[in-house]
C-alpha cells in the first residue's frame, strides 16, 4: 500500500529558512505574501493531495484511461478530483490576477507541484500542461487570444496540451510537416498528425486548448519555418462557451509502461481552425517559453516520485523484521530486527533522502529565480535570474529525473521481492518515473543543450550566475571550522567542475564530438556540485539553529547528518565523472558502426 505525507517541515525550511521567503514581499505584486499565508496554502494543498489525489493513484494506474471512438475516459474518480482541484483555484495559483489567477510566486507553486507529483503524477500532468500553455499564450498571444482563452484555462474549465511531436520527428522539430493555411478572417486551417500528446483528449474539462506547431505555405525549411497556433477542441462562442466541434480528433492512445491514468494521445488535425500565436515562423521562441516551464516541472516529477518512494521505503524498513543487526540484537522481544538497522538498507534510504532534500533545495533556488525574472524591478537582477534559470533548466530536468528514477529503484529494492509486487505500489513509482527521463527532451538532449548552447552563450555569461555565488560562499566559509566538513569536499568538487568546464570549452571548439561525448557526464557532475552547494548552505542554517531549536533540534540534526552523508558518500562521484570526461571521445567513438 502506498503511503505519502507531504514533507511540509522540509518545504518550509527550504522556502523560509534557506531561501528567505521574507524577501518575496519586496517584489511587486507580492507585498501581502506573508509566511503565515504561504504556510496555510501549503497545508491546504497537502490536505487536497493526501485526501483527494493520492487515494486515486494506485486505482488509476490499474484502471487506466479508456479510448473508444475518439473519446477518452479517465479512471474512476478523476473527473470529480479535477472538479475539486479547479473549484479550489489551484490551477490559477501562480497565474496573473488579470485573468482570474491568485498571483502566488513560483517558489510556492513548485512545492505544491511536487506534492501533486508524489500523490498522483498521472493526475498532475493535465494541470501542469495547462499552466505551460497558459505561459506561452500569456507571453506571446495577442490580447484577443489572451482574453478568449486564458480566463477559462486559469479557472480550470478548459485545459491545455502541447502538440509538437510527429511520427517522423521528435527532437528534430525542423522536420514538422503539419500545415497551416491562412484564411481570410485571420484564422488558419491546420492539417497534420501529432503523436505522444499528453492529455490531448480526456473527459475532465469542457474544452481542451491545443498549442500546435505547424508550417505556413511560405515557411523556410527547418526549424526557422515553424509557427505556433492555438487550436481548441471546441470553437469558443462569442459568450465564451464551447461551440462547434473543431477538426481535432484523438485517433488512439498509447499502451505504455507507466502513467496509465494520463492519456498519451495520437491526434489528427483535419482543417482545424486555429490562430497564430506570436509572429510567423517564430513559433519555437513561443513554444520554448512553454517547454522550459515544462522541463522544470518534469524535473519536479522526478523529485516528487523519489519522495513518495522514500516514504514508502522508510515505513517498510521500520516494520519488516529480517535478520539481526551486525552490532547486536536491537529487537530482543521479536524473532528478528527491523531491516532499517542493516547498513545496506540505510545506504539506500540515506541516498534517497540526500537526493530528495538536495533536489528540493535546488528547485527552490531556481524557483526563486523564476520569481525574480517575472517581478524584479532592477534589470540587472532580472538578467541574473534569467541567466541562472537558462543554465539550470537542463540540469534540473535531467538530474532530477535521473535521481528520481534511481530513488524509485532503491525504494523498490528496500522492499525486496515485495517491492516487485503490484500490491505494495512501489513498482508503480518506478514505472511512472521512467518516462520523465524521456519526454520534454531526453536527458541526453538536455546535456547537449547544456554544453552546446548554455556554456558558450554570451561568452560564458550564464555560468557566472552559478559560479560566482558558489565562489563567494566558499571564500566566506573557508576559515569556519564548523563548516569544514561541508566546505572542503564542496571546494574540491567545484574545482573539478571548473576544470571540466574549461576542458569541454577548449576541446569542443576544435571538435564538437568531444563536447558531445562529455555532455551527459558533465551535466551530472555539474548537478552533483549544485546539490553539494545546496547541502553546504543547508548545513550552515542547521548549525546556526540546532542549539536553540527546542523541539525542532532533531530536524536540524537530521539535516546535518544527511549533509555529511552527501559529502562523504555521494559527492565523491564527481571525481569519477571528471576522470571519464578527461578520457575524451576516443574509445566512445572508435567502434565502427557495422560492429555494433
SS3 of 389-441: HHHHHHHHHHHHHHHHHHHHHHHHHHHHHHHHCHHHCHHHHHHHHHHHHCCCC
What pLDDT digit, counting tens, does each position of 127-155 carry? Answer: 999 999 999 999 999 999 999 999 999 99
Helix (H, G, I), strand (E, B) or coil at 239: coil
Note whether 8-140 and 159-281 share their fold.
Answer: no
Cα distance from N-terminal residue to C-terminal residue, the chain = 43
Distance separating alpha carbons of residues 312 and 303, to the nearest angstrom = 14
Rounded to 5°, angle at Cα 447 from 442 and 451: 150
Rounded to whole angstroms, the Cα distance separating 162 from 132 reads: 8
pLDDT digit string, tens, across residues 336-380: 999 999 999 999 999 999 999 999 999 999 999 999 999 999 999
pLDDT for residue 375: 96
With contact defined as beta carbons under 8 Å apart, do 168 and 178 qualify?
no
Q: What is the pTM of this model?
A: 0.97
Cell of 186: 485571420
Residue 2 clears pLDDT 80, i.e. is over it: yes
Integer Cα distance of 207 and 209 in angstroms: 7
CA neighbor of 368 nearest in space, from 385, 392, 390, 393: 385
C-alpha cell read off for 343: 547498513
Catalytic residues: 440
The DSSP code for 366 is H
What's the CA gap between 564 and 557, in Å, rounded? 11
Residue 337 cell numbers, joined: 530486527
CA atoms of 277 and 209, how far apart (whole Å)? 13
Q: Rounded CA gap, 166 and 178, in Å?
A: 8
Residue 466: per-residue pLDDT: 98
Q: What is the pLDDT of residues 152-176, one digit of tens each?
A: 999 999 999 999 999 998 888 888 9
Angle at 22 between CA 18 and CA 24, to 5 degrees: 100
Dist CA 8 CA 13 (whole Å): 8
Q: Specify whether domain 8-140 bears CATH 1.10.540.10.
A: yes
What are φ and ψ of residue 212, in 5° steps?
-125, 130
pLDDT at 465 (0 to 100): 97
pLDDT digit string (tens) for 434-452? 999 999 999 999 999 999 9
| pLDDT tier for residue 290 given thresholds of 50, 70 and 90 | confident
pLDDT tens-digit readout, 447-475: 999 999 999 999 999 999 999 999 999 99
Q: Return the CA Rg of the chain.
A: 24
Q: How many other CB atoms are found less than 10 A from the CB of residue 253?
A: 20
Q: What is the CATH number of domain 159-281?
A: 2.40.110.20
Strand partners, 71: 68
Beta-bridge partners for 509: none
Q: Which long-range contacts (CB under 8 A, 24 or more apart) does 344-349 make?
A: 345/317, 345/414, 347/569, 348/313, 348/410, 348/411, 348/413, 348/414, 349/310, 349/313, 349/314, 349/317, 349/410, 349/414
Which residues lie below 8 Å from residue 40, measured CB to CB, with a gap of 6+? none
User: Percent of the chain, pLDDT > 70?
Assistant: 100
Once rounded to an integer, what is the mean pLDDT over residues 118-124? 98
pLDDT at 275: 98
Q: Which residues pair with 193 in a beta bridge?
A: 268
pLDDT of residue 215: 96
426 contacts: CB under 8 Å, gap ≥ 6? 2, 309, 312, 313, 408, 411, 412, 415, 419
Q: Is the pLDDT of residue 292 over 80?
A: no
| C-alpha pair distances (Å), 97 with each of 23, 91, 103, 154 | 21, 12, 6, 9
Buried b / exposed e over 126-144, threshold 16 CB at 10 Å, is bbbbbbbbbbbbbebbeee
Are 210 and 277 spatial neighbours (Cβ–Cβ below 8 Å)?
Answer: no
**pLDDT of 289 strictly over 90:** no
| Pair 118, 158: CB distance under 8 Å | no
Q: Residue 508: its pLDDT value, please?
A: 86
Round to whole Å and give the CA distance between 463 and 526: 11
Average pLDDT over residues 307-325: 97
Cα–Cα distance measured from residue 95 to residue 159, given in angstroms and rounded to the nearest whole number? 14
Give residue limits of the domains in the chain.
8-140, 159-281, 442-584
Amino acid at each position: 500500500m502506498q503511503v505519502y505525507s507531504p514533507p511540509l517541515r522540509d518545504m518550509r525550511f527550504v522556502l523560509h529558512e534557506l531561501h528567505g521567503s521574507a524577501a518575496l514581499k519586496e517584489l511587486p505584486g507580492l507585498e501581502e505574501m506573508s509566511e503565515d499565508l504561504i504556510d496555510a496554502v501549503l497545508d491546504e494543498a497537502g490536505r487536497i493531495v493526501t485526501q483527494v489525489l493520492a487515494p486515486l493513484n494506485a486505482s488509476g494506474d490499474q484502471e487506466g484511461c479508456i479510448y473508444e471512438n475518439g473519446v477518452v475516459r479517465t479512471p474512476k474518480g478523476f473527473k470529480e478530483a479535477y472538479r475539486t482541484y479547479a473549484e479550489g483555484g489551484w490551477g490559477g495559483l501562480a497565474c496573473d490576477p488579470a485573468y482570474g489567477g491568485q498571483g502566488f510566486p513560483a517558489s510556492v507553486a513548485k512545492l505544491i507541484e511536487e506534492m501533486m507529483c508524489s500523490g498522483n503524477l498521472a493526475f498532475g500532468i493535465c494541470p501542469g500542461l495547462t499552466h505551460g500553455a497558459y505561459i506561452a499564450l500569456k507571453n506571446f498571444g495577442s490580447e484577443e487570444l489572451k482574453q478568449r482563452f486564458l480566463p477559462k484555462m486559469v479557472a480550470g474549465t478548459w485545459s491545455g496540451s502541447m502538440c509538437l511531436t510527429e511520427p517522423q520527428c521528435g527532437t528534430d522539430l525542423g522536420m514538422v510537416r503539419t500545415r497551416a493555411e491562412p484564411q481570410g478572417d485571420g484564422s488558419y486551417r491546420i492539417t497534420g498528425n501529432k503523436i505522444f500528446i499528453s492529455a490531448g483528449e480526456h473527459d475532465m474539462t469542457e474544452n481542451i486548448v491545443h498549442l500546435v506547431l505547424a508550417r505556413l505555405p511560405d515557411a523556410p525549411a527547418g526549424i526557422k519555418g515553424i509557427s505556433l497556433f492555438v487550436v481548441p477542441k471546441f470553437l469558443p462562442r462569442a459568450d465564451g462557451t464551447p461551440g462547434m466541434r473543431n477538426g481535432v480528433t484523438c485517433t488512439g492512445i498509447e499502451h505504455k509502461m507507466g502513467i496509465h491514468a494520463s492519456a498519451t494521445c495520437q491526434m489528427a488535425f483535419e482543417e482545424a481552425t486555429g490562430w497564430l500565436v506570436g509572429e510567423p515562423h517564430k513559433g519555437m521562441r513561443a513554444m520554448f517559453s512553454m517547454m522550459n516551464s515544462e522541463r522544470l516541472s518534469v524535473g519536479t516529477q522526478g523529485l516528487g516520485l523519489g519522495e513518495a518512494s522514500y516514504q514508502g521505503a522508510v515505513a517498510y524498513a521500520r516494520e519488516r523484521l529480517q535478520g539481526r543487526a551486525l552490532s547486536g540484537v536491537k529487537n530482543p522481544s521479536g524473532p528478528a530486527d527491523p531491516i532499517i538497522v542493516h547498513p545496506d538498507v540505510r545506504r539506500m534510504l540515506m541516498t534517497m533522502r540526500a537526493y530528495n532534500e538536495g533536489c528540493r533545495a535546488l528547485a527552490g533556488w531556481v524557483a526563486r529565480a523564476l520569481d525574480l525574472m517575472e517581478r524584479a524591478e532592477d534589470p540587472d537582477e532580472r538578467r541574473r535570474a534569467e541567466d541562472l534559470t537558462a543554465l539550470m533548466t537542463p540540469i534540473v530536468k535531467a538530474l532530477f529525473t535521473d535521481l528520481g528514477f534511481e530513488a524509485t529503484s532503491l525504494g523498490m529494492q528496500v522492499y525486496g521481492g515485495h517491492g516487485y509486487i503490484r500490491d505494495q505500489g512501489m513498482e508503480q513509482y518506478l514505472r511512472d518515473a521512467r518516462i520523465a527521463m524521456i519526454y520534454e527532451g531526453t536527458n541526453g538532449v538536455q546535456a547537449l543543450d547544456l554544453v552546446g548552447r548554455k556554456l558558450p552563450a554570451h561568452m560564458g555569461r550564464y555560468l557566472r550566475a552559478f559560479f560566482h555565488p558558489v565562489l563567494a560562499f566558499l571564500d566566506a566559509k573557508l576559515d569556519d571550522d564548523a563548516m569544514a566538513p561541508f566546505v572542503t569536499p564542496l571546494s574540491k568538487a567545484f574545482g573539478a567542475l571548473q576544470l571540466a568546464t574549461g576542458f569541454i570549452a577548449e576541446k569542443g571548439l576544435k571538435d564538437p564530438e568531444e563536447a558531445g561525448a562529455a555532455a551527459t557526464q558533465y551535466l551530472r557532475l555539474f548537478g552533483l556540485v549544485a546539490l553539494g552547494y545546496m547541502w553546504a548552505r543547508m548545513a550552515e542554517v542547521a548549525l546556526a539553529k540546532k542549539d536553540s531549536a527546542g523541539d525542532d533540534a532533531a530536524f536540524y540534526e537530521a539535516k546535518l547528518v544527511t549533509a555529511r552523508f552527501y559529502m562523504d558518500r555521494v559527492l565523491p562521484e564527481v571525481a569519477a565523472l571528471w576522470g571519464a570526461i578527461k578520457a575524451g571521445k576516443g574509445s566512445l567513438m572508435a567502434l565502427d558502426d557495422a560492429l555494433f
